């Protein structure tokens, strides 16, 4: 009896190790597939391109804005190309690394920025662990988007709602401090 119990706990321990390894593998980042994201690439929202629904702003750090816009403006969704930069409000940005960078987030990295007239500073960046200013986990909400939307929430894609309404979002978008820089 005693040996049966210990055999069972051994099995449990092995199973636990196995699942933890599986989780850490699917959420590991392949450095060779990581784009070099520096703070100066984050632009004031009016220097980005508004998606056709008007809900969010896009750019492509590799220069292929047409490929990013094609997905952003599609009514049926699609997979965003590497280099895609998507922003809802100045402080919240998603960037797509090269294919294979991170399986769990389909190669998206989440950024929480601190913005001012001086520019953008990266406060937090990462994959499944990044939390926004309201204490919400980016990935936790965005992963609920149905697969054809590639973790982009928009409206009606299945994500958990934000605690702020569209009017508040529009007000925050229109008062990006980085756009008020004099130069
Ligand atoms: C409570 C759920 C929730 C959390 C937490 C959350 N988001 Fe979102 N996010 C949404 C929803 C819903 C939208 C769509 C809002 C709209 O267009 O009205 C959205 C929109 C966006 C967009 C515009 C593209 C899109 O998906 O529609 C970006 C970029 C974005 N969020 C990034 C982030 C980042 C980065 C974080 C964490 C720092 C984060 N979000 C945290 C729910 C969330």
**Cβ of 171: how many Cβ atoms within 10 Å?**
12
Digit-coded pLDDT (tens) for 124-147: 999 999 999 889 999 999 999 999
Q: Which atom of ligand 1 is nearest to the CA of 160?
A: 2
Tell me the domain boundaries of the chain: 32-180
Using CB atoms within 10 Å of the CB of residue 160, give its burial: 0 to 12 exposed, 13 to 18 middle, 19+ buried: middle
Digit-coded pLDDT (tens) for 80-125: 999 999 999 999 999 999 999 999 999 999 999 999 999 999 999 9
Tokens 């703070």 belong to residue? 39
| Token couple for 145 | 């988007």
Choice from 37, 106, 132 to test ligand 1 binding pocket (greatest atom count within 8 A of CB): 132
- Residues belonging to the chain: 183
Digit-coded pLDDT (tens) for 28-60: 899 999 999 999 999 999 999 999 998 999 999
Tokens 């979002």 belong to residue? 169
Sign of CA dihedral 6, 7, 9, 13: positive
> Which protein residues touch ligand 1 with a CB less than 6 Å away?
55-56, 86-88, 92-94, 110-112, 130, 132, 136-138, 141-142, 152-155, 159-162, 166, 169
| Token couple for 110 | 């989440």
* pLDDT band, residue 27 (cuts 50/70/90): confident
Backbone angles phi, psi at 101, to 5 degrees: -65, -50
For residue 16, pLDDT beyond 80? no
In this prediction, residue 24 carries a pLDDT of 46
Q: How far apart are CA 47 and CA 111, in angstroms?
A: 18
* pLDDT band, residue 26 (cuts 50/70/90): low
80: left (phi > 0), else alpha (psi -120 to 50), else beta?
A: beta
In this prediction, residue 36 carries a pLDDT of 97
């Amino acid at each position: 009896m005693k040996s049966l119990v210990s055999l069972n706990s051994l099995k449990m321990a092995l199973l636990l190790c196995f699942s933890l390894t599986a989780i850490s593998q699917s959420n590991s980042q392949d450095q060779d597939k990581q784009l070099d994201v520096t703070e100066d690439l984050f632009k004031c929202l009016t220097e980005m391109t508004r998606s056709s629904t008007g809900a969010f702003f896009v750019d492509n750090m590799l220069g292929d804005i047409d490929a990013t816009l094609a997905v952003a403006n599609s009514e049926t969704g699609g997979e965003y190309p590497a280099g895609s930069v998507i922003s809802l409000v100045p402080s919240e940005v998603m960037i797509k690394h090269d294919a294979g960078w991170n399986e769990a987030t389909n190669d998206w990295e989440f950024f929480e920025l601190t913005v001012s007239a001086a520019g953008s500073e990266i406060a937090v960046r990462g994959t499944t662990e990044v939390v926004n200013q309201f204490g919400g986990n980016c990935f936790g909400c965005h992963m609920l988007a149905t697969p054809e939307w590639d973790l982009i929430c928009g409206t009606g894609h299945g994500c958990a709602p934000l605690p702020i309404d569209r009017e508040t979002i529009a007000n925050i978008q229109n008062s990006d401090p980085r756009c008020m820089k004099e130069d």
